[in-house]
Chains A and B, each alone.
Chain A
Amino acid sequence: MSDVILLLMTGLGLGALYFLIAGGLSLIYGLMGVLNFAHGSFLTVGAIAGWEISKLLGGDSWGVLLISMVVGALVGAVVATATELLLIRPLYLRHIEQALITVGLSLASVALFEGIWGVDPNYVSRPPWLIEVTKIAGALVPNDRFLLIGSAVLVLFGMLAFLRYTRFGLIIRAGVENRAMVQALGIDVRRAFTLVFAIGGAVAGFGGVLASQYFGYVSPHLGGNLLIFAFIVTIIGGLGSLVGAAIASVLVAVLQQFANFYLGGTGDLVIVVLLIVVLLTRPTGLLGKRAH
């Protein structure tokens, strides 16, 4: 029983990380049709910014962690906005080229991170509480899982509220549904493009700081390693669907943990099989609209 609870909590924690990347990816693809390979780099740059600021401020208090989260999110948002304005916008609606340019950006940025911060992992300091464990029904669950799950749930509801109750949210939702119609109504949908990139970048940068807390280190490949799973999550959840991405994140991460434990480390393989099954039976994903 305690195994099951520990696996479940770890799966949920990892699922939270997947969601923080996949949520932005899914919105960006849903609205703009851009498959963003550089999204992992947004996460990495957030993680590095958070680590640098916590080094600067020193100490391992909650306050420092909070500041590094905010800084990580801000840096992620700025980098993502710059990417959209400088690289994506000039190739308006040329989806293959847009995807290619993000491939180039991810190659170049990871190499740049390696050049500046080195290939080896840099260990982060954590508030003492996060390293301790809490006993739930006999299982010793590391506390960082709660931080991850709580943050991801807050982000999910924050994003849903933004999409539902603000004018920009309305435009984004309408744009995912039918971009041509939104443009026909005289709304400049390109502002919404920049906005989803900024939101996706902020969430990924925030996720980067959380990922560095979860893994205990920052490395240039932090984002890239998570990105492949985020892609799989996005496809399973349905491109463009935030709730789909959330459900699929949990499904994928929990399944991965259980398969790793009970089926002899076959977690990644099980996920790939799940992806293939979903694609062949339901090519648009669990909650996806028709593909662009």
Chain B
Amino acid sequence: MNFLSEIFKRRGLIVGPLLVAAMAVLPLIDFELPGIFPGPSSNPGTLQILALALLIGSLALSYHLLLGVAGLLSFGHALYFAIGTYGLAILLRQTDIALLPAMLIVGLVGLVVAAVLGRISLQVSGIAFAMVTLAFAQAGSVLIRRNSEITNGEEGLPINTANVPDYLVGVVNTKNLFWLALVIAVIAFLLVTWFEKSRAGHVVAATRENELRVRVLGIRPTRVKILAVVSAGVIATVAGMVYFVLQSTASPANISADLTLTLLVIVVLGGVGSRWGALIGGVIYMILDQRLTSLARAPELKELPEFLYIPLSEPLFLLGSIFILVVLFLPGGFAGLAKRFRTGKRAKLKELA
């Protein structure tokens, strides 16, 4: 029995690699999932959506590090994503640096910015922290819109492929980008897991639960909180860079408050504090976002009466409503629901005893 529960506990060690392997072979086979994939899985269009979904999943994981692990409610996390997209876009356009060193430089920029802004914003906590981060992201958004000679303003900055290796350019090579996105998602997941299990992760989690007690124990929580902010910032920057190469444009939407709110929605829907919830929530959100838009234009919908057709044709309306229902009736999100199903029987037995 113990042995079984041990396996049950470590099922992540088995399920994880299996899932990754299954994802990795998708571009090589014609796997169809009607209604969810727009075509067979070797189709570049499908791979593009899946790669985007994996990157948003990684971004959601980095947000999980802030909200779920450190308990920091940030409204400006999109800033680091935009440092990734715009940083790489500007470096590729303005300089002759090759892709890999350019990515290293942008990653470093993300790290430094996260460290400096984290230091400032962690002067305050709670709602005030949320507001400061919102203000920083807002300032970044203004900078991007105002300096249109560098960033191309509202239009967005297209990629300059001169220094990008050929195997990452063009529709034919979407599968390479998909594998890259998969690698990023796996690394992000391992990094976040490692952080949570490390001493710093334990201190951060303890601080989330009771900061005063951590201080009484003689530990300074600010340093580990900054570590969490920096780790989350770097993961978001890396996800942003690959997202940029995949989308081949850096757009002001990358830094909008809406993107951060979306991450918040994903993490809460997945279940605050759940790694799998954040990753899978991000993936599902992105697929839904891509597919709902096309489903909303489905001819069958048009035949419905207007009061049904209008709300159903707005993906954000559906998402917002689902979100409200989850917050009201499913605290713990979908991960919490899954857990309740697993432990439901045992809990009932305990209740009886």
- The residues of A with any CB-CB pair to B shorter than 8 Å are 29, 35, 87, 90-91, 96-97, 100-101, 103-112, 114-116, 228, 231-232, 235, 239, 265-266, 268-269, 272-273, 275-276, 279-280, 283, 291
Contacts and interface: CB of A to CB of B under 8 A. Distances in A.
A105 B328 contact: no
B135 A115 contact: no
A197 B310 CA distance: 28
Contacts, number: 109
Given A116-B310, A291-B128, A101 B327 contact: yes
Interface stretch (B16-24, B45-53, B229-237, B312-320): B312-320
A291 B136 CA distance: 21
B328 A87 contact: yes
Nearest to A33: B127
Interface string B317-342: 10111011001100100000000000
Nearest to A232: B135
Top-7 shortest CB links A-B: A108-B320, A107-B320, A111-B316, A104-B323, A111-B317, A111-B314, A104-B324
A110 B146 CA distance: 26
Given A108-B319, A269-B146, 18 more contacts: A35-B130, A97-B331, A100-B327, A101-B328, A103-B261, A103-B265, A104-B265, A107-B317, A232-B135, A235-B131, A239-B127, A269-B139, A272-B139, A275-B132, A276-B136, A279-B131, A279-B132, A280-B120
Given A109-B320, A111-B320, A272 B142 contact: yes
B347 interface: no
B124 A283 contact: yes
Nearest to A280: B123
A232 B126 CA distance: 15
Contact of B146 (A107, A111, A265, A279): A265
Contact of B323 (A103, A275, A279, A280): A103
A275 B317 contact: no
B122 to A, nearest CB: 11
B9 to A, nearest CB: 29
6 contacts: A104-B321, A108-B321, A235-B128, A275-B131, A279-B132, A283-B123
A283 B128 contact: yes
Nearest to A231: B131
Given A35-B127, A96-B73, A104-B323, A115 B310 contact: yes
A110 B261 CA distance: 14
B73 A112 contact: no
B222 to A, nearest CB: 14
Contact of A108 (B142, B268, B310, B324): B324
Interface string B42-84: 0000000000000000000000000000000100000000000
A96 B143 CA distance: 30
B224 interface: no
Interface residues of B, number: 38
A272 to B, nearest CB: 4
A115 B264 contact: no
B128 A108 contact: no
B317 A112 contact: yes
A273 B136 CA distance: 9
Given A228-B257, A268-B142, A108 B134 contact: no
Given A90-B328, A101-B328, A112 B314 contact: yes
Interface in B286-320: 310-311, 313-317, 319-320
Contact of B132 (A90, A228, A276): A276
Given A103-B264, A107-B265, A279 B124 contact: yes
Contacts of B315: 111
Interface in B218-247: none
Contacts of A291: 126-128
B138 A107 contact: no
Contact of B320 (A104, A228, A272): A104
A268 B328 CA distance: 36
Nearest to B137: A272
B142 A107 contact: no
Contacts of A110: 316
A265 B310 CA distance: 39
A291 B268 CA distance: 25
B324 A105 contact: yes
B324 to A, nearest CB: 4
Contacts of A272: 135-136, 138-139, 142
Contacts of A235: 128, 131
A84 B127 CA distance: 20
Contacts of B130: 35
A103 B128 CA distance: 17
Contacts of B264: 100, 103
Contacts of B131: 231-232, 235, 275, 279
A103 B123 CA distance: 25
Contacts of A273: 139
Nearest to A239: B127
Contacts of B127: 29, 35, 239, 291
A280 B125 CA distance: 11
